[in-house]
Amino acid sequence: MKKSKYKEQVKALRAELIQLQIALKDADFPVLIVISGDDRSGRHETLNLLHEWMDSRFLQANAYGLPTEEEQQKPFMWRYWKDLPQNGVIGLCLRDWTSYSIIEYLIDQIDEKQFTKRIEYSNAFEATLTARGMLIIKIWLHLPEEELKHRLKIERKYLHKVWQIHQKDQLIYSDFDRAKTVIQKTLKDTDSDSSSWHIIESSDLYQRNLHVGKLIAEKIRARLNRSATDNVQPNEDSKTGRQHETTSQKNHLDTIDLSKHLDKKTYKHELKYWQHKASHLIYQFQEMDKSCVIVFEGWDAAGKGGCIRRLTSSIDAGFYRVIPVAAPTDEESAHHYLWRFWRKIPRAGRMSIFDRSWYGRVLVERVEGFASDNEWQSAYDEINDFERQLHDKGIPVIKFWLHIDKEEQLERFKERETIPYKHHKITEEDYRNREKWTDYEITINDMIDKTSTSYAPWRLIPSNSKHYARIEVLKHVCNVLEKTLKDSSTE
């Protein structure tokens, strides 16, 4: 292609990309462009090119190198989750989850089994993001074999010393044929309708640049058009969640024996014992740099706060964080709903205690119609996947449902109203929620059914007796920690 012709085409393309960026600002979805491939310098050039062609204020580039200490402590996908662009923004990603896993596998830092898991994580990640509206454009810059081999040879000669990460890039081709096979298979395994790979021949600069630019423009334009159509035909199904078939056959809540209780004397005695034990176990846990996630869900006034305080008073304040979950902030709303929880995963030796959690998606958001049917229905898998990644990283997820009956709740509401410093805890909304008791029962049963997994089972706590509930919670935390310690010592 002649330079003059290229320049002319670029001019038109830039104008279009800018127009699309302006339209994108008001969109209710983000864009994530993955720039990958065997053309190492091409990836870098492409990143710079896009910064030149587009309005860089609404581009957000992230390149991933060797994992930091913190990244190593957290599930593999953590660093990609935390950097996700928000609605209206275009994220650019170098060394994405798939490419980075390929590198690690080819240089034998992870084995076959771990690699397979990575591919599962990657696919689940992309599926959950695209299902929630994100446009993912995955570009693989490909060099013909001849040229790639030639470049690798030059690079090896030219660089006396190379950056660690480049060394890795080099190393993956130490067995060229194996690398080729693995890459081809992986690209196939991570290709889906909603996020497919676009292989772009990278040897001719002009062709490549135009190809990349046009692809991006085309994809964004199509996505914007789809959004426009979506808006014309609002989802009729939303807000009718509870009329849908509930697949839960078993009424889990009815199996909870609410008559369980503890007298004050036994309670005091047990509390001392279990708090001491918890303190000891948590101390060991921290010494081993292990972390843990505890989730408290339950009816309003079921006593979540009280249970949390009995637990935290056994822990040194430096080692836990209680995360009260309320309505999302503006920034949080402009992201996938799991984004804010991914960001709060504890680092090694720390404990995150969630007072309400991501389960809001399948509870209040479902009942109130804040989430569409499609949204809350997909959430079960999304949540299970999230918790599995924590579990796989050795971070136990302990989940409590604190259960009380309707009469007990009313009594507690009344009691709160008479105590000045508890009065603020009761609002009109609490009474409104109460009226939806039956709706909530259905959603809670569904939640327990679909998210009680082998790696993160729900623990249902009879809580009509606060004493009983607090001890049960402490006991269960102790059991899980003890088991985790035992398992890790026999590994």
Among 1, 5, 22, 175, the residue binding its own copies under the rule CB under 8 A is: 22
Among 193, 264, 318, 418, the residue binding its own copies under the rule CB under 8 A is: 318
Identity of the residue, 154 or 230, whose beta carbon is nearer to its own copies in the bound complex: 154
Q: C-alpha 3: how far from its chain's center?
A: 45
DSSP state of 294: E
Identity of the residue, 100 or 376, whose beta carbon is nearer to its own copies in the bound complex: 100
Identity of the residue, 43 or 118, whose beta carbon is nearer to its own copies in the bound complex: 43
CA dist 458 → 10, 296, 445 (Å)? 56, 10, 11
Identity of the residue, 241 or 298, whose beta carbon is nearer to its own copies in the bound complex: 298
Q: Shortest Cβ distance from residue 378 to its own copies (Å)?
A: 28
The interface region with its own copies, picked from 183-191, 310-318, 338-346, 450-458 by CB under 8 A, is 310-318
- Tokens 């958001």 sit on residue: 365
Neighbours of 102 (CB within 10 A): 23
The interface region with its own copies, picked from 140-148, 237-245, 283-291, 336-344 by CB under 8 A, is 283-291
Residues 6+ apart with CB under 8 A from 297: 304, 356, 357, 359, 363, 399, 400, 401, 402
Q: Shortest Cβ distance from residue 231 to its own copies (Å)?
A: 24
The C-alpha angle 260, 455, 390, rounded to 5 degrees, equals 115
Segment 18-24 long-range contacts (CB within 8 Å, at least 24 positions apart): 18/54, 18/55, 20/217, 20/220, 20/221, 20/224, 21/54, 21/55, 21/58, 21/90, 23/224, 24/58, 24/88, 24/90, 24/220, 24/224
Q: Shortest Cβ distance from residue 465 to its own copies (Å)?
A: 20
Tokens for 416, please give them.
């709160």
Among 2, 4, 69, 231, the residue binding its own copies under the rule CB under 8 A is: 69
Q: Shortest Cβ distance from residue 322 to its own copies (Å)?
A: 6
Among 309, 406, 414, 486, the residue binding its own copies under the rule CB under 8 A is: 309
Tokens for 475, please give them.
């006991």
Rule CB under 8 A: which of 79-108 touch its own copies?
Answer: 94-95
Q: Shortest Cβ distance from residue 317 to its own copies (Å)?
A: 5
DSSP of 375-439: HHHHHHHHHHHHHHHHHHTT--EEEEEEE--HHHHHHHHHHHHHSHHHHTT--HHHHHHHHTHHH
Examine residue 47 and tell whether it contacts its own copies (CB under 8 A). yes
Rg, C-alpha atoms of the chain: 26
Identity of the residue, 73 or 186, whose beta carbon is nearer to its own copies in the bound complex: 73
Q: Shortest Cβ distance from residue 90 to its own copies (Å)?
A: 13
Q: Is 58 helix (H, G, I), strand (E, B) or coil?
A: helix
Q: Shortest Cβ distance from residue 279 to its own copies (Å)?
A: 11
Examine residue 287 and tell whether it contacts its own copies (CB under 8 A). yes
Residues 6+ apart with CB under 8 A from 114: 105
Identity of the residue, 160 or 265, whose beta carbon is nearer to its own copies in the bound complex: 160
* Inter-helix orientation angle 97-106/112-131, to 10°: 180
Rule CB under 8 A: which of 321-360 touch its own copies?
Answer: 321-322, 324, 326, 329-331, 347, 355
Residues 6+ apart with CB under 8 A from 390: 75, 293, 345, 396, 397, 456
Examine residue 479 and tell whether it contacts its own copies (CB under 8 A). no
Q: Shortest Cβ distance from residue 119 to its own copies (Å)?
A: 23
Q: Shortest Cβ distance from residue 373 to its own copies (Å)?
A: 30
Among 1, 150, 163, 487, the residue binding its own copies under the rule CB under 8 A is: 163
Examine residue 17 and tell whether it contacts its own copies (CB under 8 A). yes
Identity of the residue, 312 or 433, whose beta carbon is nearer to its own copies in the bound complex: 312
Count of CA atoms in the C-beta half-sphere (13 A) of 75: 29
Among 64, 341, 376, 440, the residue binding its own copies under the rule CB under 8 A is: 64
Binding-site size for its own copies (CB under 8 A) equals 55
The interface region with its own copies, picked from 120-128, 417-425, 452-460, 476-484 by CB under 8 A, is 417-425
Examine residue 319 and tell whether it contacts its own copies (CB under 8 A). yes
Tokens for 345, please give them.
């995963």
Identity of the residue, 269 or 309, whose beta carbon is nearer to its own copies in the bound complex: 309
Examine residue 110 and tell whether it contacts its own copies (CB under 8 A). no
Identity of the residue, 349 or 457, whose beta carbon is nearer to its own copies in the bound complex: 349
Q: What order of strands is seen across the sheet that includes strand 292-298? A: 320-324, 351-355, 292-298, 397-403, 458-462
Q: C-alpha 74: how far from its chain's center?
A: 12
Residues 6+ apart with CB under 8 A from 170: 152, 155, 156, 162
Q: Shortest Cβ distance from residue 111 to its own copies (Å)?
A: 26
Tokens for 293, please give them.
């996630």
- What H or E segment, with its residue span, contains residue 470? helix 466-490
Identity of the residue, 287 or 429, whose beta carbon is nearer to its own copies in the bound complex: 287
Identity of the residue, 213 or 462, whose beta carbon is nearer to its own copies in the bound complex: 213
Using CA atoms, how far apart are residues 129 and 85, in angstroms rounded to an integer? 11
Instruction: Give the residues lining the site for its own copies (CB under 8 A).
Output: 11-12, 14-15, 17-18, 22, 43-44, 47-48, 51-53, 55-57, 61, 63-65, 68-70, 94-95, 161, 163, 165, 283, 286-287, 305, 309, 312-313, 316-319, 321-322, 324, 326, 329-331, 347, 355, 419-421, 423-425
